[in-house]
Chains A and B, each alone.
Chain A
């Protein structure tokens, strides 16, 4: 409660303080027979019913919602007051969910492309025809080329069920999730190689004495309960270190901003570790009890003096020392944030390894304020498609590359195989809720890959860029119109009473038009492809109930508990005796990679070019929200941040319009405005990701701002994981006349 009164008192005074309205109101009579909308909007509390069980999907954090429904229409979304995760708070995107639900541009009916891929002409067809077409085309490809003749690009919770059908039952290994290969995958496998577990974002920031963010820009990147953690930490007096080439929203709140040269983060981290080790400022007890290969690492990184790193990172040696000393003085209660989107430069596995090792050097595992994994609810049922009999190696194994890849197949290998037909042709493509035009570098290659397919099908809620290349386009229910996977967790502040929660996505309104949920669509296709006997559940409700049943819950029970079940939790602190930090990892060495964290330099910008950096906007999620009329109004385009000295040299003023040319001569299709600021390095420019949609059917977001991905044509692949590094491209700015 923000108001310093007991809740009861507050309610009493608040209800007393009713808005005083003039008693002698003059009511204007409509004399023309015009039926006016009421002048005073009723507000969400007037004549609305509250629908519980909503789970947001405007990003992937999945805050718990309630919907205010009036006459069958959703008028407002709010945080579920019962939530111990986001509480009553939801972010800008969460609040704007109703504008996605009722977006007139949304997909409404199954469509068949009677034009060309990339220049579609859509014809409305029946579900029956659409499903028959998808099934017969996909089956034809499997019969002719084998299951590996298919590729799938899924994204988000909604695509798990169809993904498992194609991956396990049909048996294609060519599955690439942007959430792994262009995002978190490196982080997860690097931490697994270091501490045996994927980290999530599990740093106990509320109880930390120091928080260190490397590239994390909280406030511009928004996940509600995660931000609550961060802000509680700052409120409790945590010192904040932000390492970023740009003065981000987090840097604005930081005690130390390290204006690092892009691509050199690993050198910075190695110098910190070396300094701590050389000066006996590390956690000896922790390293002895839980460290593996510490001496090997200590010796291997001994060349990393403060001065050496300072020269490479282009920051003062004294500042690296200041950061190291601040961490050491407050160890082990320090949050070394693992990051989230980490596929940056193609040397990212090493950076993530370094973060995990630094956490170990500081002894910050399992302790208050350090890296702490919550102990969430357990015992849920599993719903999954059965594994079929499949033979042959996947592309990773054939190439003998990327042994530390996250689940799925590196995107680049899929695209290469499809374009070359080697080691095998890929002729069918299923795209489910992902927009590979904006998720994967080098759009032209993606487009060529799609054009050589025999069949492309897309399932989405919006006509995204990639849907222009579909033969069949299917309209899916949005997250507000369907049941879906459960969301579970604990309270966000481990200092509070330990509690666990379970909720499951439930529809707040009925699906509009002819939209169908992913379980139904998958099952109907599966049946027609001859896999009817393998179908694990008949409906989305059955799926959710089966998962919940394992924990003694059900949809009905959750509904009776206002959408969220809360149960006692467990103390998350402490680590097991056999918890190990592999400072040196022999498995890596066996595969031909460095056993200890190693700095791999990246290319410098050519003369006259600046490195293109991108990041998050608080009101947008990737490329999913630019057509949302409220969010568009809040941030219609993505201004490019240009250093003030550079701008002066280039003759650019704040607000000028520019287009871009990259190092390969690729030009941006659109323009955006210049934001001149001292808050970015001279060798880089920065913009929000996800703008400049190319599909004219997005009547709000079409061509608004510049698509950063269109300028990312030079590929950088992380050698251990095969993930796409997307910050190794360079641009010139061209003033628009």
Chain B
């Protein structure tokens, strides 16, 4: 299967409920977002028409995710299980990977070094490094939309889908021809791709108005970001250094102060 999400921009009114619901559900720091709503226009299109629409974006859980290949974390062997068929698959994964069975891209925060290479590599800007999760081995952890897999596992809709007053967000299995998301694909739902960015996004958009689609398609990234080898190198070099510092416990003290002050802030 391949999970995917459709955003119906005919219905979307740009109310931002999806972005705030996500912050609440997953404790996303205020200044960051696992998803976003950009307001496009009012602007004139190529035909001179006025258009005003929205780009509600999130991780695309791509077929060929650029973020996965650049992760410098030491690979570990992991076994995945298809809950439908019981089939298993064992493969080497870094701290971020694409699930062989449900097609979502996930992060193991315990092994993430917070180097930000994946965030740099994503042409959609769908990842950020969450500084609230800094520990004695990192300055934060990569974070992004997970398609709310933990909620889905409980039989719930993703938080953004549940709160959407317009019914503009539709979540489901793109490989099931009878799913609502597949019907949208048949109707012409598209991913934000361009000549040089073709990595198979599975969050897709549908709109019936040409002028809206034109504004939205202009948001597609035009180039793949340069892989930040410098960042990866640094992360690799930092690993042993970090371990040494940790043994000294200095960062531990600083970290504990930081965590303590954050906890105090959390308390009213």
Please list the residues of chain A having a beta carbon within 8 angstroms of any beta carbon in chain B. Answer: 2-5, 10-11, 13-20, 22-28, 30-37, 39-41, 43-46, 75-79, 86, 88-96, 98, 102, 104, 218-220, 222, 224, 227-228, 231, 234-235, 247-249, 251-253, 257, 512-513, 618-619, 629-635, 677-680
Give the complex CA separation of A43 and B132 in angstroms: 16
Q: Which of B62-70, B166-174, B188-196, B216-224 is found at the contact surface with chain A?
A: B166-174
Contact status of A26 and B159, CB under 8 A, knowing A45-B154, A678-B42: no
Shortest CB distance B131–A (Å): 12
Segment from B98-106, B117-125, B226-234 that makes contact with A: B98-106
Contacting B135 at CB < 8 Å: which of A36, A98, A248, A618? A36
B15 in contact with A39 (CB, 8 Å):
no
Which 9 A-B pairs have CB atoms at the shortest separation, nearest pair first? A679-B42, A219-B13, A32-B252, A22-B78, A19-B149, A252-B52, A39-B109, A95-B20, A18-B153
Say yes or no: A20-B13 contact (C-beta < 8 A), given A37-B132, A98-B24, A677-B41.
Answer: no
Q: Report A106 CB to chain B, min CB distance, Å.
A: 8
User: Contacts A25-B110, A34-B256, A89-B164 given: A222-B154 contact, CB under 8 Å?
Assistant: no
- Dominant SS at the B interface? mixed
Whether A2 contacts B167 in the complex (CB less than 8 A), given A22-B76, A41-B27, A91-B15, comes out as: yes
Chain A proximity of B30: nearest CB distance (Å): 5
**Would B162 and A78 count as touching, CB distance under 8 A?**
yes
Q: Does B241 contact A (CB under 8 A)?
A: no
* Contact of B20 with A630 in the complex, beta carbons under 8 Å: yes
Is B163 touching A90 in the complex (CB atoms < 8 A)?
yes
Are A678 and B179 touching (Cβ within 8 A)? no
Q: Are A2 and B15 in contact (CB under 8 A)?
A: no
Q: What separation, in Å, do the CA atoms of A30 and B110 have in the docked complex?
A: 11
Q: List 10 A-B contacts (CB under 8 A).
A: A2-B169, A23-B79, A34-B256, A39-B141, A89-B164, A91-B165, A92-B17, A248-B52, A634-B37, A678-B50
Contact present for A32 and B81 (CB under 8 Å): no
* Cross-interface CB contact of A86 among B15, B53, B76, B165, cutoff 8 Å: B165
Q: Do the beta carbons of A43 and B167 come within 8 Å of each other?
A: no
Q: Which of A4, A91, A98, A512 contacts B180 (CB 8 A)?
A: A4
Distance A228 CA – B42 CA, assembled complex (angstroms): 23
Assess whether B238 is interfacial by the CB under 8 Å rule: no
- Chain B, residues 177-205, CB within 8 Å of chain A (1/0): the string is 01111010000000000000000000000
Inter-chain pairs besides A24-B76, A26-B111, A227-B13, 13 sampled, C-beta below 8 Å: A2-B170, A3-B170, A20-B102, A30-B136, A43-B148, A76-B25, A92-B16, A104-B268, A231-B11, A252-B50, A619-B16, A630-B24, A677-B41
Closest to B112 in A: A39
Q: A2-B180, A26-B76, A28-B111 are in contact. Are A219 and B15 (CB under 8 A)?
A: yes
Contacting pair A678 B165 (CB below 8 A): no
Given contacts A95-B20, A634-B19, contact A24 B79 (CB under 8 A): yes
Q: How far is the CA of A559 from the CA of B251 in the complex (A)?
A: 50
| Contact present for B43 and A22 (CB under 8 Å) | no
Number of residue pairs across A and B with beta carbons under 8 Å?
258
Within the complex, the shortest CB–CB distance from A37 to chain B, in Å, comes to: 7
Task: List residues of chain A with CB within 8 A of the CB of B50.
Answer: 247, 251-252, 257, 678-679
- Do A630 and B110 have beta carbons less than 8 Å apart? no
Which residues on A sit within 8 Å (CB–CB) of B159? 44
Cα A17 to Cα B3 in complex, Å, equals 10
> Do residues B109 and A40 form an inter-chain contact, with CB atoms below 8 A?
yes
Complex Cα gap A249–B33 (Å)? 23
Q: Which residues of A contact B148 (CB under 8 A)?
A: 43
Q: How far is the CA of A539 from the CA of B13 in the complex (A)?
A: 41
**Cβ contacts under 8 Å, B155 to chain A:** 10-11, 14-15
| A252 adjacent to B51 (CB under 8 Å) | yes
* A222 and B108 form a contact (CB under 8 A): no
Residues of A within 8 A of B37 (CB): 634
Complex CA gap A77/B44 in Å reads 39
From A102, which residue of chain B is reached at the shortest CB distance?
B268
Interface of A is mostly: loop
Contact B172 A252 (CB under 8 A): no
Chain A residues whose CB sits within 8 angstroms of the CB of B33 once the complex forms: 633
- Find A20's partner among B19, B83, B133, B164 (CB 8 Å cutoff): B83
B1, B15, B78, B132: residue with the most chain A Cβ atoms closer than 10 Å: B15
A20 CB to closest chain B CB (Å) equals: 5
Min CB–CB distance A61 → chain B (angstroms): 11
CA distance A516 to B171 in the complex (A): 43
- B240 interface contact, C-beta 8 A: no
CA distance A17 to B137 in the complex (A): 33
Given that A26-B110, A32-B246 are contacting pairs, would A2 and B171 also be in contact in the complex, using a CB cutoff of 8 Å? yes
Taken together as a complex, chains A and B put the C-alpha atoms of A15 and B154 apart, in Å, by 6
Contact B163 A88 (CB under 8 A): yes
Minimum CB–CB distance from B267 to chain A (whole Å) comes to 9
Q: Flag if B84 contacts A17 (CB, 8 Å).
A: yes
Partner of A35, one of B157, B246, B251, B256: B256
- Closest chain A residue, CB of each to CB of B23: A630
B110 CB contact (under 8 Å) in A28, A235, A513 = A28
B225 near A: Cβ within 8 Å?
no
B-side contacts of A102, CB under 8 Å:
268
Given contacts A86-B165, A222-B15, contact A20 B81 (CB under 8 A): yes
Contact A27 B135 (CB under 8 A): no
Contact B111 A44 (CB under 8 A): no
> Whose C-beta in chain B lies nearest to the C-beta of A259?
B50
B161 CB-CB contact with A under 8 Å = yes
Q: Name which residue of chain A comes closest to B73, CB basis.
A: A26
Q: In whole angstroms, what is the CA distance A40 to B10 when docked?
A: 35
CB closest chain-B residue, reference A679:
B42
> How long is the Cα–Cα vector from A632 to B173 in the complex, in angstroms?
35
Q: In the bound complex, do residue A629 and residue B30 qualify as a contact, i.e. CB atoms below 8 Å apart? A: yes
Asked whether B179 lies within 8 Å of A3 as measured between CB atoms, the reply is yes
Q: Which of B13, B33, B137, B172 has the most CB of A within 10 A?
A: B13
CB closest chain-B residue, reference A97: B24
- Contact among B102, B111, B137, B161 for A19, CB-based, below 8 A: B102
Cα A508 to Cα B158 with chains together (Å) = 23
Residue of A nearest to B80 (CB): A20
Contact B17 A95 (CB under 8 A): yes
User: How far, in angstroms, from A95 to B159 measured CA to CA in the complex?
Assistant: 11
Nearest Cβ distance between residue A73 and chain B, in whole angstroms?
A: 9
CB distance from A21 to the nearest CB of B (A): 8
Distance in angstroms from A492 CB to nearest chain B CB is 11
A32 touches B255 (CB 8 A): yes
> In chain B, what residue has the closest Cβ to A89?
B165
Q: Which of A22, A28, A249 has the most B CB atoms < 10 Å from its CB?
A: A22
How distant is the Cα of A98 from the Cα of B141 in the complex, in angstroms? 25
